[in-house]
């Protein structure tokens, strides 16, 4: 009896999903995405506004893109992710379809359904793709894990109600106590 072949999906399968249905694609495997909670959206809005304001104030070259925003981590059709926030400093990577290559800084907000993806699968994917900095914001455990992937430093665990320094910028510190949850 022949072995059954496992179905491998491509970006075309993501674009063929029914309207309103979202998923990510990691190495040909589809991972469905649940709708975000209001807490999740408040955190995304706070970070988008805070980081974007910092970039504008300092005439920076980087841009902040909140989800849904397509990131094609590899030059293939088998990996497609939608980070909660992507900070991209090389404008050549961005076109109308999304980001082609690794963002400089990725932030994921953990939800009950995304724990495995955010803590394990995406961490490995982002590291391999060349993301410089990766934050996992966990509103349930009330902390932020900061990964300096560029320098391969040990992760930092920061309380969700304190200040967290962004590694890709010299002087950006985000005060999470200002966030209204």
CA atoms within 13 A on the CB side of 47: 29
Is the pLDDT at 32 greater than 90? The verdict is yes
Contact (CB, 8 A) for 6 and 60 = no
Residue 22 and residue 44: Cα distance in Å, rounded?
17
DSSP 5: P
Q: How much is the average pLDDT of 104-110?
A: 98
Please report the DSSP string for 111-163 in residue order: -TTTHHIIIIIHHHHHHHHT-SEEEEEETTTTEEEEEETTTTPPPEEEETTSE
Say what the pLDDT of residue 113 is.
87
Is the pLDDT at 5 greater than 70? The verdict is no
Contact (CB, 8 A) for 51 and 44 = no
Contact (CB, 8 A) for 177 and 155 = no
Q: How much is the average pLDDT of 26-44?
A: 94
Is the pLDDT at 1 greater than 90? The verdict is no
pLDDT tens across 72-94, in order? 999 999 999 999 999 999 999 99
Residue 139 and residue 142: Cα distance in Å, rounded?
5
Query: In angstroms, how far apart are the furthest CA atoms of the chain?
Result: 65
Structure token digits, residue 99: 């980001």
Structure pTM? 0.94
Please report the DSSP string for 55-86 in residue order: HHHTT-S-EEEESS--EE-SSSSS-BB--SEE
Is the pLDDT at 131 greater than 90? The verdict is yes
pLDDT tens across 153-168, in order? 999 999 999 999 999 9
Is the pLDDT at 104 greater than 80? The verdict is yes
What is the pLDDT of the chain when averaged over all its residues?
A: 94
- Percent of the chain residues past pLDDT 90, beyond the cut: 91
Q: How confident is the model at residue 181 (pLDDT cuts 50, 70, 90)?
A: confident
């Amino acid at each position: 009896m022949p072995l059954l072949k496992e179905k491998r999906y491509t970006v075309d399968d993501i674009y063929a999903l029914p309207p309103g249905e979202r998923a990510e694609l990691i190495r040909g495997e589809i991972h469905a995405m649940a709708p975000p909670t209001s807490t999740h959206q408040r955190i995304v809005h706070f970070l988008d506004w805070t980081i974007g304001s910092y970039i504008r104030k300092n005439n920076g070259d980087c841009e902040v893109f909140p989800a849904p925003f397509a990131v094609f981590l590899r030059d293939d059709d088998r990996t497609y992710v939608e980070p909660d926030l992507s900070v991209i400093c090389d404008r050549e990577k961005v076109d109308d379809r999304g980001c082609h290559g690794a963002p400089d800084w990725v932030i994921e907000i953990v939800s009950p359904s995304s724990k495995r993806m955010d803590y394990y699968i995406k961490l490995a994917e982002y590291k391999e793709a060349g993301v410089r900095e990766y934050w996992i914001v966990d509103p349930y455990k009330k902390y932020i894990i900061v990964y300096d992937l560029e320098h391969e430093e040990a992760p930092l665990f920061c309380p969700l109600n304190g200040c967290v320094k962004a590694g890709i910028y010299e002087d950006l510190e985000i005060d999470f106590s200002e966030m209204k949850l």
